[in-house]
Structure formats: structure tokens, C-alpha cells
Amino acid sequence: MKTFRYLTLSLALVALVMVIGNAAMAQAVQPIQNPRTWADNFFHTLQKNPAGAYAALKSSTLHPDKVDAVQQASGKIVQVFGPMIGADFIEQAAVGDAVLRLTYLVLHQRGPVVYQLVLYAPSKGSWHVMAMDIEVNADQFPFKPAK
């Protein structure tokens, strides 16, 4: 249980670190034209080539320096839950016209993990990743299990 508390704390810090705070720190970001397609490709690549997936994330966020913390947390998840075996898209929720949240259930050998990506479009059709949140505790998943 102590491992899960440590992992949960680490992942909460990752979510906090990934939040975009200051637009002045913006660097050249490769815009995402279709967020859902980009996210599907990210998780497909994460399963087969994690370094490639995180390289794509770095190029699509305003703070590529924060991606290393997410990548380290992902490594801890693999240590606890085993190798990734797939990912299922759960939902897409728009918050106005400029913010989009995508939720995925990432399947590992010893249990699922929920990833939520928050994307922002400062101009129409030009999205970038604003935050990534990872939840490992099933009782904290952002959806109710089917009955």
C-alpha cells in the first residue's frame, strides 16, 4: 500500500508540473490538428516505443521540459502494474471552444491506469497539450464502472 501512496503522490506532482502557467515561456510548438487522432497515436506508440511517444508529447506542448517528469512517472507505473498491453478511449469533453479533455484507460498486465490529456487551442484548429494527469487508484477513476 505504501508503494501506491508514493506513486499517487508522484503522479499528483506530475499533473501539477504539467499545467501550463506562463505563456511567456512558450516555445515553438508543433500544432495538433486532430486531438483524438494524435492521442490515439500517442498511446499506440507508448506501448511499443515509449521514448518516441514522449518525443511526440515534447513537440506538442508549451513546456517540453516538464515531459521528463511524466515519462519518469510512466516508468514507475510499469514497475508497479507491468508492461502496457493496450489503451481504450473513454471520453472526449469540450470545455468551451478552446479546451478539450481526452480520457483513456491504459491497460497494463496487473491493472488499468487512467490518463487524461487536456488540450488547448489558442486559435481554431491549432491544439497543443496543456496538461496530462495520470490516475492509478481505481476508486479515483473519473468515471463509474458499468454495472
Give residue-wise pLDDT tens across range 60-116: 998 788 898 889 999 999 999 999 999 999 999 999 999 999 999 999 999 999 999
48: left (phi over 0), alpha (psi -120 to 50) or beta: alpha
Asked if 111 and 98 touch (Cβ cutoff 8 Å), the reply is: no
Distance of CA 15 to the CA centre of its chain: 9
| pTM, entire model | 0.77
User: Considering only CA atoms, which of 20, 10, 135 is closest in space to residue 73?
Assistant: 10
Higher per-residue pLDDT: 13 or 126: 126
2-20+29-137 carries CATH number 3.10.450.50: yes
Q: What is the pLDDT of residue 123?
A: 85
pLDDT at 144: 59
Q: With a cut of 60, say whether residue 117 has pLDDT above it.
A: yes
C-alpha–C-alpha distance, residues 117 and 101, integer Å: 6
pLDDT of residue 4: 60
Q: What does the pLDDT read at residue 12?
A: 47
Q: How confident is the model at residue 21 (pLDDT cuts 50, 70, 90)?
A: very low
**Strand order of the sheet with strand 99-108?**
84-95, 99-108, 111-123, 126-135
Mean pLDDT is lowest, of 13-17, 54-58, 68-72, 112-116, for 13-17
- Among 7-11, 36-40, 129-133, the minimum mean pLDDT is found in 7-11
